[in-house]
Structures are given as C-alpha cells and as structure tokens.
Amino acid sequence: MSLITSIQKYSIHDGDGIRTTVFFKGCLLKCVWCHNPETQSYKKQPSYNKEQCVGCRSCEMVCPQHAIHAENGKVVTDLTLCDSCGTCTDYCNQNLREIIGKEYTVDELVKELKKDEMFYEESGGGVTLSGGEVMTADMEFVEELCKRLRKLGITVTIDTCGQAPWENYERLLPYVETFLYDIKTMDNEIHKKYIGAGNELILSNLEKLSKAGARIYIRIPTIKEVNGTDESMKDIIDYLHDKNIHVAQVNLLPYHNTGSSKYEKIGKVYEGMDLHAPSKEEMEHFTGLFKEAGFHNVKIGG
C-alpha cells in the first residue's frame, strides 16, 4: 500500500504528451513556495475550507476525538487531537472537509492508470509519478508499479526534487523513461533558506543519473528572490557544463502562488507572499542564456 494525495488526468505539464500524474504523499524538503503543501506530510491529514463554512456544527457533533469546537462564532479544528479518521467528512453538508491521502495497492493504481492508455498512445504520453517526493515513498511499491506499467507498454516519468537516497534512483533506472529533475539554485545558503536543506545530495544524485545515461529534463522554478538573476542562471549553466550533465530539455518555471490557498485549509501559513515571478521579458532573457550556452531545447513552463 502507498499513500496518494491525488491522481491528475489529462496533464500536459508533467512530461511528454498527455499524461496521468500520480501525487505521492511525503517530501523531505519544505520549499517556501510549495504549491502542493498537502503532499509534504507522510501521513493522512485533514483539510477544511473554513471560509465557506456556514457553522452548522454537524462535524463537531460526530467527531470521536472531540477535535472540533466553536470559537468566537467559528468552527475550529484542533489538529493536535485530530487523527484523520474522516468521520467529519461524511457529515459536512457543504463538503468542505476532506482527508488528504488515500491508500492504494499496486493493482488498484495500475487499474486506474490503464484507463487512459488510448490517450497515452495517441499523444506519446504516459504516467508521471510525482509528489511530494515519490523517491522517498515505499520503493518496493514504486518499483513494482514501474515494472507493471513498463510491461503494459506505458512509459513512466519521475518528477523529483533529488532529495532521496541514490539507491532509490538506481533501482528504477531500468523502468523510467525520463526524470524531471529540479534545480533551484547553486547557492547552498539560499537553498537552505528557501528550500529547507542544502543541495549537496540533490547535485550528487543528478551527476550519478547523468553518468548512468538517464534521460533528464532540468526544471528550474524561477523566482526573483531565489535565482532570478543572470548570475544565478549562469551558475546553473556552468555547473551543467562542468559536470557534463546530459540534458534533454530545460524548463524554466515562472513562480506562481496559486497553491497558497491550500495552506490555511491544512493549518499552515503560506510564507511565499514576498516572492515574485520574473517578468515575461526576464524569462525570455534567461531562456536566451541557456540557448547561447548550447542548450537548444529550452522552454518556459512545463
């Protein structure tokens, strides 16, 4: 069994063609701008849209842990008491409550992913395993899933931040077509500040993947305060050249805060409000830097 937050069909931003993206739960990094904060925890967790709550308090009456109560006219959930049993979700008349994280067996997941085989075949797409960080999930589960999909002729792409044991990548190499690999910044101190850890393991794994002959798409979340300068981009370019990283594609991903509304629903505070996306002109300029350096397959966005 493995814990999945969601399965997104007809995705065109997570690899080649039309894809189904599976979001695994759990990630070791804590990017300030993370647009899927519900995937960070490795456990099931409650989500509650209190902005639309009408205060009927049906959830309060049925909560076995007494984690829900009224406070100053509003319904409040005590996350220290909630055990994510999901009882409240069945009684919320507005469907504002949910438990994030559903357990799947490999058989169940393969059955679901096979439903869109026709779209994969027609578009050159397949399945993308994302997160959270799929490379820190149950690797026996992930490896078996990749094996099964490959046997069915469904290509697999891994979307990864790189913060996982090398052994986990190594065991998937025979089954994965493409790795979507994040590089945020070469500055280790900035990396620690905004991402929550240094970049040593991330870069080490990238170098090993390249030496192993993996097909790699470098993806760079592009944020003014983190890496949105010529110097930062040239540092990444120099690194890719110096380490002879074999790059099939470079994607510059402009910052957005569309996931910020998710934070309050899971009892967190979004800390990325002071971050900014580069302008369209700046993004095109950064794209030009990579092309001038010999990277011809460079795109803005996924």
Of 72, 100, 128, which one is at a domain's C-terminal end?
100
Q: Which residues contact 140 (CB under 8 A, 6 or more apart)?
A: none
Q: What type of residue sits at position 7?
A: I
- Count of structural domains within the chain: 2
pLDDT digits (tens, 9 = 90+) for 69-92: 999 888 999 999 999 999 999 999
Q: Which residues contact 193 (CB under 8 A, 6 or more apart)?
A: none
Find the helix packing angle between 280-292 and 230-242, rounded to 10°.
Answer: 30
Q: Between the CA atoms of 148, 165, 173 and 34, what dihedral angle is there, to the nearest 10 degrees?
A: 70
The per-residue pLDDT of the chain, averaged, comes to 97
CATH number where 109 lies: 3.20.20.70
Which domain covers residue 136, as residue numbers?
2-42+104-300
Nearest to 126 by CA among 116, 134, 136: 116
pLDDT digits (tens, 9 = 90+) for 113-168: 999 999 999 999 999 999 999 999 999 999 999 999 999 999 999 999 999 999 99
Average pLDDT over residues 58-66: 96
**Rounded CA separation 5/262 (Å):** 13
What is the pTM (predicted TM-score) of this model? 0.95
**Rounded CA separation 161/191 (Å):** 12
Question: Given this model, what pLDDT does residue 72 score?
Answer: 87
pLDDT digits (tens, 9 = 90+) for 194-204: 999 999 999 99
CATH number where 60 lies: 3.30.70.20
281: helix, coil or strand? helix
Residue 8 has pLDDT above 90, yes or no: yes
Residue 302 has pLDDT above 90, yes or no: no
Looking at the structure, tell me whether residues 19 and 134 fall in a common domain.
yes
pLDDT digits (tens, 9 = 90+) for 250-275: 999 999 998 999 999 999 999 999 99
